[in-house]
Amino acid sequence: MKHPARWITIAVAVVVAVIGIVLATQGGTDPTADTRSSPLLGKAAPQFSVRTFDGARVTNTTLAGKAVIVNFWNTWCTPCREEHDALSIFYARHANEPDFAMVGIVRDDTARAVGSYQKRTPDPWAIALDPSSAASLAFGTRGQPETYAISPDGLVAGAQIGPATVESLDRMLDAARRIPQ
């Protein structure tokens, strides 16, 4: 090894390239990334049951007949915090529509952390903990944030891997409402 610095530079470049490829194939932070890759699209939404912070139980049955946005997130996830404004704007646009519901399901986090986060940044939509990750596993989430649109008849109409935008949320909600009941 006549030039160890050169080999170190090459090794670092290879590692950076591999990391870049992994991030690119996992959705990265591109808000349009991976919107069609979910194997759930067009299929019945997974059965799930979570309890919100106000004690209400949210299930497929309680959401039946509505176009639903389900957002998986947690408090320590930087992309989750980055998409929060988009979720807030989107929810404000649709909150008064009788055929609409939205639920944020928190995984890999504590009730204390979520409670503290909600005091600083309160959300008007339902926020529920998924302490056993049962709902997250049912949807096959690979990370946070992930967002799904469910049609009024319970079919998965859209999936967003990575941070959502107002536009991507609107597209998913429109897709959920277009599925015949």
Sheet strand arrangement including 67-73: 57-59, 49-52, 126-129, 100-106, 67-73, 146-150, 156-161
Residue bearing the bigger pLDDT, 58 or 12: 58
Nearest CA to 71 out of 58, 54, 56, 55 is that of 58
Q: What is the pLDDT of residues 29-73, one digit of tens each?
A: 333 444 446 888 889 999 999 999 889 999 999 999 999 999 999
pLDDT per residue as tens digits for the range 83-100 = 999 999 999 999 999 999
151 near 181, Cβ under 8 Å? yes
**The predicted structure's pLDDT at residue 121:** 86
- Of the pLDDT bands very low, low, confident and very high (cuts 50, 70, 90), residue 9 is low
**pTM of this prediction exceeds 0.85:** no
Residue 151: what residue type?
S
The per-residue pLDDT for 98 is 96
Q: For residue 181, what are the contacts with CB-CB under 8 A and spacing of at least 6?
A: 151, 152, 153
CB count, 10 Å around CB of 165?
A: 17
Q: What letter does residue 47 receive in the DSSP assignment?
A: P
> Does residue 8 have a pLDDT over 80?
no
- How many of the other CB atoms lie within 10 Å of CB of 164? 26
**CA atoms of 96 and 82, how far apart (whole Å):** 25
Q: Region 6-23: what's the mean pLDDT?
A: 52
Q: What is the per-residue DSSP string for 81-108?
A: HHHHHHHHHHHHHHTT-TTEEEEEEE-S
Residue 181 has pLDDT above 70, yes or no: no
The pLDDT of residue 7 is: 62
CA Rg, the chain, in Å? 19
The predicted-structure confidence for 116-161, as pLDDT tens digits, reads as follows 999 998 899 999 999 999 999 999 998 899 999 999 999 999 999 9
Q: Which of 1-15, 17-31, 111-125, 166-180 has the lowest mean pLDDT?
A: 17-31
31-178 fold: Glutaredoxin (3.40.30)
